[in-house]
Amino acid sequence: NVVAPAIEELVNKTNETMNSLTPSVLLGMEVIVYNPPKPLLSSGLEDAVRKFQELPFDVPTLNINLPTIGAKEIIELMGSGSGNLDTYVSEWAAEKGDSFFIALWANVFQFTPADLRGVKIITFRDYIYNSDDAIDNALAIYLLSRRLADKPLPGTEMSLFVYNKSIIEFRNQSAARLCLAFDELNKIDKIQQLVRSSTKRTVTVNGPVYRKWIEAGGENEILFGNLIELPSAITVQDINTKAAALKASWNRYATLTATVERNKRFVRIKEVLFNQFSTSMREITEGEEATLANRELIIKLFMEQLERVREDELTDIWTVCLKLVCRSRFFRTESERILLGIERVKKENPAIDVREAATVSVIEYIAFWVSTQMKIQVA
């Protein structure tokens, strides 16, 4: 049987090509919820770091090398003895994962210039200001250095003067950085800043403000509409003022985009079907189909059938390929009727195997053929 393999080949090659196409821009739309590290919810922590608010900016040198310890020990070192703060620290540590703390410990508290070997040096400032995890880094460094300033780890081998100077600088500068983080959070809460940042496909929102907004009836479609309506708003008040217009704008954009993309995809799939089928026909070098006249006839029939394919039929690419192949390459046979019969029997009887389904379909075809040979005469 060469019909089924020919259909399978067209289906597989078409799917392979289509899977590599750029997905819809609508699929990439996403609301990313930013939540500050949970320990920043502690008023006690804010009170502690505010003591360093007026501290002059400085960049401590990464010049200490403490003993290697595991993630569990690192997290325990960040404990304060305050039940409320320690609970937040535990939850935050679980969210960040052990690898975050192990890496930070190695890069900040076990810095060894001899190991760099030409690698660009990452400074203390980079860690607490210029990193994606800047606030998390500053928080971890503060909690660790605060504890280490009071009690060095056993096995620490370095000058006490250098150790104290470095650890205290770590603590002070990370605390000053956390003051800026608290200032930002307080400002966000005061003005109810909903949108933190955005790209063409994503909106990053401030978690505490976003949750209240959603509970009050806010919808993500409004935020997506805010992306395409310039100038974009960032506060709850400004967004709510034009919420209806933003949602309507997004719905219009989404509908139009979906229609355009669907039409483009339809045209592209038809192009792929034709190209893949034509390639398969050119690869046939033996038999009747290999002759130029037959090949041109088959291609002509394929194109005629392809023009009749509707966009809604492409949800079942296997059936589309079956009809195209059977009505062109195998147009002299009844393969379409038999193969469609097999599929119908399988759907009606899920437990039946392919051989049994094929037998039923062939019997039905024979009955059909016999019936076409009969003539009814009225006496």
User: Is residue 326, in this structure, part of any structural domain at all?
Assistant: yes
pLDDT exceeds 80 at position 110: yes
Q: Which residues does residue 206 pair with via DSSP β-bridges, in sequence order?
A: 34
**Choice among 91-95, 194-198, 308-312 with the minimum mean pLDDT:** 308-312
Whether 174 and 196 have beta carbons less than 8 Å apart is answered as no
Residue 379 forms part of a structural domain: no
Which band of pLDDT confidence, cut at 50, 70 and 90, is reported for residue 379? low
Q: In the prediction, which pLDDT does 286 show?
A: 76
Single residue among 152, 174, 191 that ends a domain in this structure? 191
Look up the pTM and report it.
Answer: 0.69
Q: What average pLDDT does range 83-110 have in this prediction?
A: 92
Together in a domain, 126 and 211: no
Asked if 146 and 122 sit in the same domain, the reply is yes
Could you tell me the pLDDT band of residue 61, with boundaries at 50, 70 and 90?
confident
Give the pLDDT score at 340: 64
What does the block give as tokens for 319?
């059936």
Give the pLDDT confidence score for residue 354 in this predicted structure: 60
The Cα 282–Cα 287 span in angstroms is 12
For the stretch 320-329, pLDDT in tens is 998 898 888 8
**CB contact set of 63 (below 8 Å; sequence gap of 6+):** 111, 113, 162, 166
β 202-206/30-34 pair status:
parallel
Residues of the chain above pLDDT 70, percent: 84
Which of the four pLDDT bands, split at 50, 70 and 90, describes residue 377? Answer: low
> Do 171 and 50 have their domain in common?
yes
Q: Return the pLDDT at 373.
A: 59
Residue 378 domain-assigned (yes or no):
no
Same domain membership, residue 317 and residue 209: no
Burial (0-12, 13-18, 19+ Cβ within 10 Å), 100: middle
pLDDT digits 0-9 by tens, 329-344: 888 776 767 676 666 6
Label residue 159 by pLDDT band (50, 70, 90): confident
Take residue 236 and report the two structure tokens written for it. Answer: 């709850």
What is the number of other CB atoms lying within 10 angstroms of the CB of residue 143?
A: 24
Distances (CA, A) of 49 to 52, 138, 173, 278, 330: 6, 11, 10, 72, 80
Q: Cα separation of 200 and 302, whole Å? A: 41
What ranges make up the beta strands (E) of the chain? Answer: 30-34, 195-198, 202-206
The tokens describing 24, both together, are 């819809």
Query: What's the confidence (pLDDT) of residue 370?
Result: 55
Dig out the tokens for 316 from the structure.
């079942």
Say yes or no: 49 and 172 in one domain. Answer: yes
Count up the domains in the chain and report the number: 3
Range of the domain at 221: 25-36+195-252
Are 46 and 187 within one domain?
Answer: yes
> Are the C-beta atoms of 111 and 63 separated by less than 8 Å?
yes
Above 60 in pLDDT, residue 360? no
Is residue 124 a part of any domain in this protein? yes
Q: What is the mean pLDDT of residues 46-50?
A: 95
The pLDDT of residue 372 is above 70 = no
Phi/psi of residue 101, nearest 5 degrees? -75, -35
Q: Which residues of 298-320 are buried (b: 16+ CB within 10 A; e: fewer)?
A: bbeebeebbeebeeeebeebebb
Residue 168 lies in a domain: yes
Is the model's pLDDT at 83 over the cut of 80?
no
Answer yes or no: do 84 and 200 share one domain.
Answer: no
In a domain, 103, yes or no: yes
Which of 234, 252, 270 is at the close of a domain? Answer: 252
The verdict on 15 and 44 lying in the same domain is: no
Tell me the percentage of the chain whose pLDDT exceeds 90. 46
DSSP-derived letter for residue 202 is E
Of 145, 169, 191, the residue at which a domain comes to its end is 191
The span from the first CA to the last CA of the chain, in angstroms, equals: 45
Check whether residue 50 and residue 154 sit in a common domain: yes
Question: What integer best gives the mean pLDDT of the chain?
Answer: 85
Distance (Å, whole) CA 80 – CA 90: 11
Distance separating alpha carbons of residues 21 and 279, to the nearest angstrom: 20
Question: Is the same domain home to 86 and 221?
Answer: no
pLDDT tier at 210 (50, 70, 90 boundaries)?
Answer: very high
> Residue 107: inside a domain, yes or no?
yes
Q: What pLDDT band is residue 169 in, cutting at 50, 70 and 90?
A: very high
Q: Are 115 and 77 in the same domain?
A: yes
pLDDT at 307 over 70: yes
Rounded Cα distance between 21 and 129, Å, is 39
List, in order, residues 6 or more apart from 30 with CB less than 8 Å away.
201, 202, 203
Examine the domain organization and report whether 69 and 86 are in the same domain: yes
Structure letter (DSSP) for residue 110: B
Cis peptide upstream of residue 231 (ω within 30 degrees of 0) = yes
> Are 317 and 272 in contact, with CB atoms under 8 Å apart?
no
Asked if the structure places residue 295 within a domain, the reply is yes
Average pLDDT over residues 114-122: 56
